[in-house]
Amino acid sequence: MATATPPLVGAAPYAYRFAEDWPKLPEGWSLRDVAAVAVDAHDRVYVFNRGEHPMIVLDRDGNVLTTWGEKLFHHPHGLHIAADGALYCTDDGDHTVRKCTPDGTVLLEIGIPGQPAGFMSGRPFNRCTHTALSPQGDIYVSDGYGNASIHKFTPDGTHLLSWGECGSDPGQFNVPHNIVCDAEGWVYVADRENHRIQIFGEHGRYETQWNNLYRPCGLFLEDGTAGIFYVAELGPHMALNRTFPNLGPRISMLARDGSLVARIDERTGLPPGRFLAPHGIAVDSRGDVYLGEVSWTVWDVYLHPGEPRPHDLRSLHKLVRTDA
């Protein structure tokens, strides 16, 4: 019997079908939460997860190429791949950023493992969340769970400056959760619990913000001046509002001025329950989208505490871009 074609979600030119048999993991393996996902120049997919193998490297078809990080990471959270292929791995569990080779050799470590800065002290780090690189190779780190700050370091890890404090005014943060930097040096911060993306200059000066989002978690920026932003939005989880329509969970695509280009949500054919907790996002050279979810945590803590997880609870998706 022929396999049914997965339903189309979204609308052209941002229309997708889910890769239903992806990834192809060995029997018994579990990803648990997929905190972050990134794609290199060869379309290899790096899955930063909280299962038995923290970094799983896949090919486009979802086959496992290698794994690493089993004795290195405490609680994976953020992942960024530089143009030279180096991976910047943010571990909010031990308050560190590690620069690694594609095979897992540590080249640089920022932060002291297991020794957080003071809560809301503004000093690096207290449960840091993600990294981005400036055009000059400087390292930006969002420090979002025990701080409300952005830190900037030289390429060798020397601290240059920090900015931000807890709050909801411009330049303040309520869980700065993800960060990207464009080719002109502008810094974009997913200010998750303020439901916005804030934009800063290279020295931390506030410029503007985008507000048409709901708990933005993951950010990915396409190359080129016309490249768009892909935003993974966590959506509501309060008992009061978690079934409210038009809030997510979802993926939004934004132009460089912050205007909405497209969206993958319940209004554009997303099957009920397909997204549970979007957290990390990346796009490959063909426009296919990889979405990591912290579905185990959300199921256990927010949605169904004490209940067994369904056997088909997913934490990683591939959405194949299609013209039809």
CA distance 156 to 128: 18
Instruction: Kindly tell me if the per-residue pLDDT of 292 is higher than 90.
Output: yes
User: According to the model, what pLDDT value does residue 106 have?
Assistant: 98
pLDDT band at 2 (very low <50, low <70, confident <90, very high): low
Q: Could you give the CA distance from residue 56 to residue 64 in angstroms, rounded to a whole number?
A: 7
**Residue 111: predicted pLDDT:** 98
pLDDT level of residue 238 (50, 70, 90 thresholds): confident
Residue 60 structure tokens: 């486009």
Of the chain, the percentage scoring pLDDT greater than 90 comes to 90
Residue 87 has pLDDT above 80, yes or no: yes
| pTM for this predicted structure | 0.96
Return the C-alpha torsion angle 271, 279, 198, 10, nearest 10.
-20
At 193, give phi and psi (nearest 5°): -80, -5
**Residue 193 scores a pLDDT above 90:** yes
What percentage of the chain reaches a pLDDT higher than 70? Answer: 99
79 contacts 69 by C-beta, under 8 angstroms: no
Per-residue pLDDT, 303: 87
Say if residue 312's pLDDT is above 90.
no
How does pLDDT run across 168-183, given as a tens digit for each residue?
999 999 999 999 999 9
Dist CA 304 CA 293 (whole Å): 16
Q: What is the mean pLDDT of residues 200-209?
A: 98
Question: Once rounded to an integer, what is the mean pLDDT over residues 264-293?
Answer: 95
Confidence of residue 125 (pLDDT cuts 50, 70, 90): very high
State residue 272's pLDDT score.
84
Per-residue burial over 181-203, b = 16 or more CB atoms within 10 Å of its CB, e = otherwise: bbeeebbbbbbbbbbbbbbbebe
Average of per-residue pLDDT across 227-240: 94
How many residues does this entry show for the chain? 324
- 187 in Cβ contact with 181 (< 8 Å): yes
Which phi and psi (to 5°) does residue 190 adopt? Answer: -80, 100
pLDDT recorded at residue 3: 64
> Within its chain, how far is the Cα of 205 from the centroid?
24
Residue-wise pLDDT for 18-68, tens only, equals 998 899 999 999 999 999 999 999 999 999 999 999 999 999 999 999 999
CATH number belonging to domain 8-322: 2.120.10.30
| Contact by Cβ (8 Å): 120, 85 | no
| Mean pLDDT score across all residues of the chain | 95
| Mean of pLDDT values over 291-297 | 96
Structure tokens at 176: 């700065």
Residues 98-123: tens digit of each pLDDT: 999 999 999 999 999 999 999 999 99
Q: What are phi and psi of 194, to 5 degrees?
A: -95, 5
Domain ranges of the chain: 8-322
Distance CA 187, CA 178 (A): 11
pLDDT at position 53 is 97
**What does the alpha-carbon distance between residue 90 and residue 68 come to, in Å, rounded to a whole number?**
15
| Range 264-288 average pLDDT | 94
Residue 236 CA to residue 52 CA, distance in Å, equals: 29
Q: Is the pLDDT of residue 225 over 90?
A: no
